[in-house]
Amino acid sequence: MDLSKKKCVPCEGGVPPFDEHKIAEYKKHIQPDWKVTDNKKISREFLFVNYRHTMEFVNNVANLAEEEGHHPDMHVHYGKVLIELSTHSIKGLSENDFILAAKIDLL
């Protein structure tokens, strides 16, 4: 399963969020630095040597988000960005979150 080759598909709700087994299965295919919180959210921290590098990363993630139609929350500090992924329409995690995580891992 190469998640980075998949595309996010619109998620309007009506499907159940991933349970812990599904999450564990998908988590194997993204970088181990991603943390799962309450089976509802995955997050990863990225560090940079300066603000220019930080903002380059932020814009790369934003472009990816627009391409995929799936938008993470980004907490942007001088040399650190915390990315949080969740699928709001189902109040939990979907394949989209792991696809975007896998693509962010390649940036």
Query: Pattern 43-82, binding to its own copies, x per CB under 8 A?
Result: --------xx--x--xx--x--xx----x-xxxxxx----
Number of residues this chain uses to bind its own copies (CB under 8 A): 15
Closer residue to its own copies, CB minimum distance, 26 or 54: 54
Rg (CA), the chain: 13
CA distance 46 to 81: 5
Task: Return the number of other C-beta atoms located less than 10 Å from residue 25's C-beta.
Answer: 12
Q: State the minimum distance, in angstroms, from the CB of residue 52 to its own copies.
A: 8
Nearest to 92 by CA among 6, 18, 21, 29: 18
Give the residue with the Cβ less far from its own copies, 35 or 75: 75
Closest to its own copies by CB, 1 or 77: 77
Q: How far apart are CA 107 and CA 94, in angstroms?
A: 21
Residues that bind its own copies (CB under 8 A): 51-52, 55, 58-59, 62, 65-66, 71, 73-78
